[in-house]
Structure 1
Amino acid sequence: MVRVSPRVVVLAGGVGGSKFVLGVREALRRRGMDDTAAALTVVVNTGDDIWLSGVRLQPDVDSITYALAGVNDTARGWGRDGDSERVNHELQEWGAGWPWFTLGDLDLGTHLARTGWLRDGLSPTQVLERMSQRWPLGARLLPMTDAEVDTVVVLEDGSRLHFQEWWTRHRAALAPARFENPGIEVAAPAPGVVEAIASADVVLIAPSNPVVSIGPVLAVPVIRDVVATTAAPVVGISPIIGGKVVRGMADVCLTAIGVETSAAAVAAHYGSRETGGVLDAWLLAEEDDALAPEVAGGGIRSLVTPLWMTDAAASAAIAETALVAAGV
């Protein structure tokens, strides 16, 4: 019997992840679910976290939190709406921080609160739970792990940069040889992550960067295994439309790991659960309709649907298609 209130778990990160999570919440609300927080769990990438100017930043966590709270800057795609940058300018006058990495004043308030709680002994999971109490998010947010497993970009010349410097300062223009998350091989899933995935009615992989947003989540020991073995259908949404990335520089990341920038290649990268991968079904954009047989040939059921998340209604329609594809 299909549950009236399906338990949905989304693996997500970045702007694409935040837009998709908003769509999932709206899709559940349109099904008549008032208390979506009881049904929707989001496992958030923390691989792009960083210590900067003495505070702990969690860009993907904050992007998704702000989006669900309705306080995000939709024009820039990150940070708080209507934020100012007085403190950031003052930091630059002191020669502190990174002049090309902007911290808004309201955003910095979040980082200061988080850092204080961490230094008081709270875990990142407990911090995120406390953050979630400020606004009615309509979802339970969990970090992928409580361990610090920041992403390091190893360039072709062997030099190493924190992901944020490579992504924000250099705009991914420096050729990467590989991406590493030091310590991730011994990191544990955050409390509640494994249980949420194992007991879900559907697991959705958001149209986030497959390499640096979803990749770290699946690289945490046990998480990939539980996604691969959960009784719930696993449905992914392509972040590639018409052979191009929707936002950001995911194509550079894919090239670095030897994956073509195509919807079918990313599906193959995740792989079919029948052959040791993590997908049962894959949503393709209408522009990539011709790739459906290739995806199906890899043992992954393909569904063609509009994938441009132009507004809340479009994102909700995509999410509803994914839920229907999972049979919930």
Structure 2
Amino acid sequence: MCEAREQEIKNVEKYPHSLITILAGGTGSVKLVRGLYNEFKKNIGVISNVADNFWHYGLYICPDVDTIIYGLSNHLDKKRGWGIKNDTFNFLNHMKLLGEEAWFNLGDKDLATHVLRTQLLKEGKNLSEITRLLSHKYGLGIPIVPASDVHYETNMVTKDDQVFHLQEYWIKHKGALPLKDIVYKNVKLAKISLECKRMLENSKLIVLAPGNPISSIGPIIAISGMKNILHKHRNKVVMVSPLISNKAFSGPSEIYMRAKNIQPDIRGLINFYSKISANMIFDRVDKKEVEEKIGTTSYPQINFSYTDILMNNSRKELALASYIISEFCQDRR
């Protein structure tokens, strides 16, 4: 590595402990992360899913990490929910011209992030160091921390026993192949990064973003030791539901829950998170469902609350962020 780059990495300041730490995936999480960032400024930190990372065209791609970085730095293509706004696809189109597979949409500007990350990996830097540098280059002053520096993958197992990386299954095959199971390949090799541990231990509040519980949040809490840390601090853990009226409002949560033999509805979601979260936020329309059909008395250890959780514009992102802060983080600014 050139001396200038080495010095640049050393010069990126270590961030102070966050008052709010958010466990996040990508498209299903970035709206809440953005709302909390805009409302709470530099007192938040993000622990990002990395199980959808993969190698493609010789580049190391980190979709969820990049979606968070782009989303907070105002580079995200909000209409698509991924990639950089106003990007072009000349590289990808030329790959098609050369007869190569081009199922994963890599924009020309987006490529710069992947090229730099891959170069730094080959120069011996770990993913936490690289993500800290990229966050700095995109002008962010908060920690965005990979859940682990060890590569592991969310793999989709189909009914006919084919195995695909999550990205290939969802994008190349459009999620159309019947699922039998979802596994986190090599998750036993993964370790929680030291920075993740410090963030969780020192945060006043830990928020589970409304990402897919199986493919976005699930891979994070599957890392050895993560559930124990969250269980230890469950009274300060707040889960924001990814379901409204028992349906996912972003992505295939129900399909993935069913593949993991988890009841694909609000009750199943409560059971999935009940050991690590003592606070759960559902949409107002689900208050009757939770309190009468499911019964809050069945879960006396959980504090249920209700508000508008559908974030279909920036105002609603801020409103939900403000609600979380006012309800669970009073006098902590």
TM-score, normalised by the number of residues in structure 1: 0.90
Q: AA paired with 1:93?
A: L
The aligned residue for residue 120 of structure 2 is 117
Q: AA paired with 1:61?
A: V
Equivalent of residue 159 in structure 2, options 153, 156, 165: 156
Which stretches in structure 1 are left out of the alignment for 5+ residues?
Answer: 30-35, 272-276
The aligned residue for residue 260 of structure 1 is 263
The aligned residue for residue 18 of structure 1 is 30
- How far is 1:304 from its partner? 1.0
The aligned residue for residue 281 of structure 2 is 283
- How far is 1:133 from its partner? 1.0
3-state secondary structure, aligned to 1:261: coil
3-state secondary structure, aligned to 1:225: helix
Question: 1:46-125 maps to which residues of 2 (within 5 A)?
Answer: 46-96=50-100, 98-125=101-128
Contact residue 22 and residue 67 of structure 1 kept, 8 A: yes
Contact residue 292 and residue 303 of structure 1 kept, 8 A: no
The range that moved more, 170-179 or 115-124, is: 170-179
Change in CA separation of 1:88 and 1:6 when aligned onto 2, cut-off 3 Å: closer
* Deviation sequence 1:52-99 (CA, Å, 0-9, x none): 000000000000000000010001110000000000111222233x32
Contact residue 218 and residue 224 of structure 1 kept, 8 A: yes
What is the alpha-carbon distance in structure 1 between the residues aligned to residue 201 and residue 304 of structure 2? 24
- How far is 1:232 from its partner? 5.6
Contact residue 292 and residue 304 of structure 1 kept, 8 A: no
The aligned residue for residue 33 of structure 1 is none
CA RMSD of aligned residues (A): 1.6
- Work out the percentage of aligned pairs sharing the same amino acid: 26
Q: AA paired with 2:310?
A: W
Question: 1:1-328 maps to which residues of 2 (within 5 A)?
Answer: 7-29=19-41, 36=42, 39-96=43-100, 98-230=101-233, 233-271=236-274, 277-293=275-291, 294=294, 296=296, 297-298=298-299, 299-328=301-330
What is the alpha-carbon distance in structure 2 between the residues aligned to residue 40 and residue 6 of structure 1? 5
Contact residue 268 and residue 295 of structure 1 kept, 8 A: no
Count of aligned pairs: 310
The range that moved more, 316-325 or 144-153, is: 316-325
What is the alpha-carbon distance in structure 1 between the residues aligned to residue 105 and residue 38 of structure 2? 31
Contact residue 25 and residue 138 of structure 1 kept, 8 A: no
- How far is 1:174 from its partner? 1.1
What is the alpha-carbon distance in structure 1 between the residues aligned to residue 290 and residue 156 of structure 2? 33
* Deviation sequence 1:10-37 (CA, Å, 0-9, x none): 00001121111011112214xxxxxx1x
Change in CA separation of 1:295 and 1:28 when aligned onto 2, cut-off 3 Å: farther
Q: AA paired with 1:282?
A: M
- How far is 1:156 from its partner? 1.7
- How far is 1:150 from its partner? 1.5
Change in CA separation of 1:212 and 1:131 when aligned onto 2, cut-off 3 Å: same
What is the alpha-carbon distance in structure 1 between the residues aligned to residue 196 and residue 63 of structure 2? 19
Q: AA paired with 1:222?
A: G
What is the alpha-carbon distance in structure 1 between the residues aligned to residue 295 and residue 53 of structure 2? 33
Q: AA paired with 1:262?
A: D
TM-score, normalised by the number of residues in structure 2: 0.89
Change in CA separation of 1:183 and 1:66 when aligned onto 2, cut-off 3 Å: same
What is the alpha-carbon distance in structure 1 between the residues aligned to residue 23 and residue 295 of structure 2? 21
Runs of at least 4 residues off by over 6 Å: none
Which stretches in structure 2 are left out of the alignment for 5+ residues?
Answer: 1-16
Q: AA paired with 2:195?
A: G
What is the alpha-carbon distance in structure 1 between the residues aligned to residue 240 and residue 211 of structure 2? 9
Contact residue 22 and residue 45 of structure 2 kept, 8 A: yes
The aligned residue for residue 274 of structure 1 is none
Contact residue 28 and residue 251 of structure 2 kept, 8 A: no
- How far is 1:159 from its partner? 1.3
3-state secondary structure, aligned to 2:137: coil
Contact residue 18 and residue 202 of structure 2 kept, 8 A: no
- How far is 1:323 from its partner? 2.7
The aligned residue for residue 5 of structure 2 is none
What is the alpha-carbon distance in structure 1 between the residues aligned to residue 49 and residue 278 of structure 2? 22
Contact residue 27 and residue 319 of structure 1 kept, 8 A: yes
- How far is 1:327 from its partner? 4.2
